[in-house]
Amino acid sequence: MLHYAIVFFVIALIAAFFGFSGIAAGAVSIGKILFFVFLVLAVVSLLLGRRPVP
């Protein structure tokens, strides 16, 4: 998931460099969503992984 977020941010940087602002804005928004989904899943995984087994 984090890999895809980084890929979309790189795509946004390349698109912004070449002047495609619409594509860059779309890629940035997708990258942000993927990054926050990754953060939520990482925190949930961390919390559930530390739970002792009865």
- CA distances in angstroms from 15 to 9, 27, 41, 43, 52, listed in the order given: 10, 9, 29, 32, 47
In the block, tokens 């860059």 appear at 24
pTM: 0.78
Please report the sign of the dihedral spanned by the C-alpha atoms of residue 30, residue 35, residue 36, residue 37: positive
Per-residue pLDDT tens digits for 4-54: 999 999 999 999 999 998 999 999 999 999 999 999 999 998 888 877 766
